[in-house]
Structure 1
Amino acid sequence: MEAGNEHYDAIIVGSGFGGSVMAYRLAEAGLRVCVLERGKKYPPGSFPRSPYDMSRNFWDPAQGKHGLFNLWSFKGLGGVVSAGLGGGSLIYANVLLRKDEKTFVQEDLNNGGYEYWPVNREQLDPHYDTVERMMGAQRYPIAHEPYKSTAKTKAMQLAAQRMGRDADWQVPPLAVTFGNPGETPVPGEPIHEPLGNTHGRTRTTCRLCGECDIGCNYGSKNTLDYTYLSAAERAGARLYTRAEVKEFWPADGGGFVVQYVDHSQAREGEPLEIPTSLLPRVTLTADRLILSAGTFGTTYLLLKNRRHFPALSGQLGTRFCGNGDLLGFLLKCMDSSTGKLLPRVLDGGHGPVITSAIHFRGKEEGGTGRGYYVEDAGYPEFFNWLYEGSQQLALLKRGVRLASRLTKGWLGFIHDSDVGSEISEMLGRCEVSSTSLPLLAMGRDTPDGNMRLTKEGMLDIDWRTHGSREYFTRVRKSMEDIAKALEGKMVHNPLSYLSRVVTVHPLGGCPMGRAPTEGVVSAEGEAFNYPGLYVADGSVMPGPTGPNPSLTIAALADRFADDLLAGLPRRTSPGRTRRDAEASATREAPPA
């Protein structure tokens, strides 16, 4: 849908965890709200799965690609974010963990410190509560079958026990519907949604297919398009997709002017004949502008438009980190508990991507160093087929044996026509894939990165793992301990040995602070020296959250909305009230 030449009380750029929360809160308060999202809508069944479609499922409009994944590559790290209505919620692993109370540190930034949090856990807890209700958080229902037989979950719990960390293992809250309120969880059942959703489609409970990170085609994930954005739309917010914001500036007399490129008529698959900077633009105006395009997107937009905001803090681009993300792989895990050395089946493709976590506490929490979490990281089931298919020599040998058996039968040398066992042998024991599992760690690395523009106007990040060497060494050791507990091998991401990591949780760039000398925005999310300009996404973090940051981003946005709305006259909402929306969004956990 195209907007144009319209004025709003608030324009929100981006529809991730910050933008969606702000959109709903402002719309239900009666403000005229517009959300500009560069990506497409993804209703159930629309996420690509075929090799052909997946090869085009990337974001690069100049090359005719308007897909889900936006990949960034810098010297010290790579980053994976998304483009689509619902932002990062479309590809995240659903975990809703709160930032630990004692990690809201307040370091001396003038004496070697890197992060100062101007908010604390007590201030955020009410907002955490609200977001959890709206996102319908449920824990993985391990008291019920088929969930309690999930091999990777049981293995992580066993590893924690063998490491003496029983109390540190948990099944975290997930933004996934496993069962309807008050009902026993069952995979594939219709989800009860009396008010419907923005896609107008029926969703089903989690089918345990491991496809969370490439888009849930069943709507089992309670992504932002089903929760906050659906509620925002019912409250009157206008949601525009295929709208890529390029430029914005303060308007004469107050407010802001925003220009975006409308991609709704773009021919996907065909590279542009002109630079994207020369594409026609649509112009809107608003009293308030909220940037929620993510750590990469928001910081990049502010750097590109800095000439329009000369009084913006010099802290723009600082305090970048990857939230301590580190990927490792468990291989060939075994089980000797019966006296025989047998393969330990982990079955990484069964269940949602993440079901459990082990918390390794930092010095603030009674541990050592900077704390972190290690979580099981499943994957789509078709990865197992690819993995097994890569074992070419073994596959060839089994294929030759099957062909020999079938040929003998066709020639009449064998009279047994039942070849099921032979085909089973052709598939093999599949121990390579079944005994393997990725592990995803995240925690409190050092936020010492800087973001800037190159001479060509491209985003660049100066960040290296050496500033967090001790942290990453401890994380690798913990992963190796988990592998030892499960009698397997740990293979670290080879890129990490080149001081390079891949983050799915980039943070910082527009950090909160107490003054312009310390941050770009205040503890309420408003930019210093520019009233009405807000930032609400991962870029406002003055340091890592430790656990998965989505819940903290959303909770901060809910807090920012309180500040923005404070003092405004209460208007009659075109939709329902916040209390009604929260009540309908609350989903009880299935019976334990």
Structure 2
Amino acid sequence: MKYDYDYLIVGSGFGGSVSALRLTEKGYTVGVMEMGRRWTPENMPKTNWNIANFLWMPFVGLRGFLSMRFFKHVVIMHGNAVGGGSIGYAQTLLVPPDSVWADGSWAGLDEWQKVMPGHYATAKRMLGVARNPILGNADLMLQKMAVAAGVGDTFYPTDVGVFFGKEGDRPGTTYADPFFGGAGPDRKSCIGCGSCMVGCRHDAKNTLDKNYLYLAEKNGAKVHAETKVLDVRPVNGKADGSDGYEVTVTPTFGPPSDKRTYLARNIIFSASSLGTQELLFRLKQGGSLPNISDDLGNRVRTNSESLLSVRYPGAGIDMSKGIGIGSGIYVDEHTHIEAVRYPAGSDMMSSLFTVLTDGKPGWSRPISWLGAMFKLLIANPVKGLRSLLPFGFAEQTVIFLCMQTVDGHINMRYKRPWYWPFREKLVTEGDPIPTFIPSANEFARKGALATGGIAQSSMSEIFMNVPMTAHCMGGCAMADTAERGVIDSQNRVFNYKNMMVVDGSMLGANLGVNPSLTITALAERAMSFIPQAQKAAT
């Protein structure tokens, strides 16, 4: 049989890009199917008001890179692009606490605390991790709030995947490849414009298309952008995939009838936690891969997140300068808060926030919001009203990304919901996720009082009783058996040969920090188990 690729990878995010590079280095032919677009500094949106090039909703003509998925339990934000979530993330690359390896389904599968430091070191080198030297007003404001709350000693500048250049050089200076001995692209040093999450137009952000994926393509990997995978099924009647897989794809934005089929010896699912779960559910329930573990979709985690903010209308302080997430603090042993910013003019996210509201989660919380709104407008009508308008939001606001290591999860299922009987789709089940973190709310309230700002909550928490997260994890967890997970300790899918899952869906515990570095490190580990191509053939 003539195969198109030794390995076909679905998705080009952190798991897919790492896999593509390491497999090409081992002598394999690699194809990468990516549903999203390829982005360059020339076609990046200048602000998030350019929703056609910022948001991803192809069915209504939006072809950006940020997808927002609304579920009963949570609103999930994730990326769709060549380079996956790296195109629009805030490039915070942190190592989680050691305790995560003793939790969840992967506990005991390896000597994690001995094995992982080496893979983290490789991931940091490849992603160009550096300590943020640009502390903008938002970071300094977070530090001031932390001091007022009695946790000033926990303040830290973030470790991020950004190229800052040489000390003393002018920001925006062009350098020959500073990371890979000339094998990578030229880069420019960060100018601190705050545009990280709208897409870096200045060649400073270390996105995957400038490291792992860039090098993989130089080695011969073929990236098929704007290509959606429709079907994956074993060939030659070998139900376990021992002879490889037939993969049917279609253009993301083209006619559904325009299909093509590829033959691959091996397949790797790296379509993000949501994307991989959705595809595997469809393949399992549609009969193409019926033996996928019934544990699929279980224990999906969200870092137990909450989005808050403090806004300073009329203060004349520009909070938009710096990098996407430039600093963080720890409110307590479980609660971690990072200062987030958008560039000047990117005020669309203002629609997500309203006055800080406590109260009991559920139907009564909008009533608590009415009370909070009344107090705000009575106490300071002009400033309060300005805090609710979109204009100037990015320059006036410190957004708080609040995360907890406290474990909690939901389950994903693929079925026809009562409100959309036309086709099956991903839905959530399980106990509700807490819709606000009391200690984070209290910090925002004290911080706003100490600095003259107005604290704000997320709209979705108040009116939908669901939190928002950019860190969806799990659903195809690593475990010791198919009854407890979808993949084994080497990322191989139970009940199939030549099939792996390498992305955020493999995570077996709540990390409490941005998962990108951990996904990268675990992908490095997964690829370390694959032999050189010549050895595989003998």
1:250 equivalenced with 2:213 (yes/no): no
The amino acid across from 2:280 in the alignment is: L
1:316, distance to aligned residue in structure 2 (A):
0.2
Q: 1:122-143 CA distances to partner (integer Å, 9 max, x unpaired)?
A: 32111110010011111111xx
2:89 is equivalent to residue 86 of structure 1:
no
1:533 to 496, 499, 506: 499
Alignment of 1:453 with 2:414, yes or no, is yes
Deviates further, 551-560 or 316-325: 316-325
Q: Residues 26 and 565 of structure 1 are in contact (CA less than 8 Å); yes or no, is this contact kept in structure 2?
A: no
SS of the residue corresponding to residue 230 of structure 1 reads helix
Q: TM-score, normalised by structure 1?
A: 0.75
Cα distance in 1 between the residues matched to 2:453 and 2:47 = 33
> What's the counterpart of residue 138 of structure 2?
152
Contact 1:322–1:505 (CA under 8 A) maintained in structure 2? yes
Q: How far did 1:386 drift? A: 10
Q: CA deviation at 1:217?
A: 1.1
1:476 corresponds to which letter in structure 2? N
One-letter code aligned to 2:9:
I
Equivalent residues of 1:44, 1:201 under 8 A apart:
no
> What CA deviation, in whole Å up to 9, does each residue of 1:41-84 have, x standing for no partner?
11112112378853354434444443322221112221222221
Alignment of 1:183-202 (within 5 A): 183-184=167-168, 186-193=170-177
**1:36-185 equivalences in 2 (<5 Å):** 36-49=33-46, 53-55=50-52, 57-106=54-103, 116=107, 118-119=109-110, 120-141=112-133, 147=134, 150-180=136-166, 183-184=167-168
Task: Judge conservation of contact 2:27–2:533 (CA < 8 Å) in 1.
Answer: no
Q: Secondary structure at the match of 1:104?
A: helix
Judge which range, 520-529 or 493-502, deviates more. Answer: 493-502
**Residues 328-371 of structure 1: CA distance to partner in whole angstroms, max 9, x if unpaired?**
111349xxxxxxxxx87652210111100112453xxxxxxxx2
Q: 1:228: Cα distance to partner?
A: 0.4
Which one-letter code corresponds to 1:69 in the other structure? L
Query: Aligned-pair distance for 1:174?
Result: 0.6
CA distance in 1, matches of 2:341, 2:86: 17
The residue identity in structure 1 corresponding to 2:177 is E
Task: State whether residues 73 and 433 of structure 2, in contact with CA within 8 Å, keep that contact through their aligned partners in structure 1.
Answer: no
Maintained 8 Å contact 2:47/2:343: no
Aligned ranges 1:399-438 → 2 under 5 Å: 435-438=396-399
Task: Please list the CA deviations of residues 116-171 of structure 1 after superposition, one character each: whole Å capped at 9, or x if unmatched.
Answer: 57453332111110010011111111xxxxx35x2222222232233332442211
Check 1:262–1:346 CA distance in 2 against 1; reply closer, same or farther (3 A cut).
same
CA distance in 2, matches of 1:71, 1:434: 23
* 8 Å Cα contact 1:374/1:440 also seen in 2: yes
- Which one-letter code corresponds to 1:66 in the other structure? R
Cα distance change on mapping 1:563 and 1:331 into 2, 3 Å: same
Deviations, residues 561-589 of structure 1 (Å, cap 9, x unaligned): 11233897189xxxxxxxxxxxxxxxxxx
Could you say which residue in structure 1 is the equivalent of 2:278? 300
Native 8 Å contact 2:69 2:75 kept in 1: yes
Partners of 1:191 and 1:331 in 2: how far apart? 37
The amino acid across from 2:217 in the alignment is E
CA distance in 1: counterparts of 2:203 and 2:74, whole angstroms: 32
Match of 2:19 among 22, 25, 31: 22
Residue identity in the other structure for 1:260: V
**Which residue is 1:440 aligned to?**
401
Measure, in 1, the Cα distance between the counterparts of 2:292 and 2:349.
50
Is there any run of 5+ residues in structure 2 with no aligned partner, and where? 351-390, 417-422
Largest Rg, 1 or 2: 1
> Normalised by the size of structure 2, how large is the TM-score?
0.82
- Structure 1 residues 260 and 479: CA distance shift in structure 2, 3 A: same
Match for residue 280 of structure 1 among 258, 283, 302: 258
Aligned to 1:462: 429
Aligned residue pair count? 481
In 2, the alpha carbon distance for the partners of 1:514 and 1:117 equals: 9
Query: Structure 1 unaligned runs (5+)?
Result: 110-114, 142-146, 267-271, 334-342, 363-370, 388-429, 572-592
Distance 1:433 1:218, change over 3 A: closer
Match of 1:379 in 2: 342
**Helix, strand or coil: the match of 2:279?**
helix
Q: Identify the residue that residue 561 of structure 1 maps to in structure 2.
A: 527
Other-structure match for 1:543: 509
For residue 212 of structure 1, what is the amino acid of its counterpart?
C
Q: CA deviation at 1:494?
A: 2.9
Q: The residue matched to 2:437 in structure 1 has which SS?
A: helix
Change over 3 Å in CA distance of 1:434–1:68 after alignment to 2: closer
RMSD of Structure 2 on Structure 1 (CA): 3.1
Q: CA deviation at 1:489?
A: 3.2
Asked if 1:359 is matched to 2:330, the reply is yes
Read off the aligned partner of 1:540 and give its amino acid letter.
M
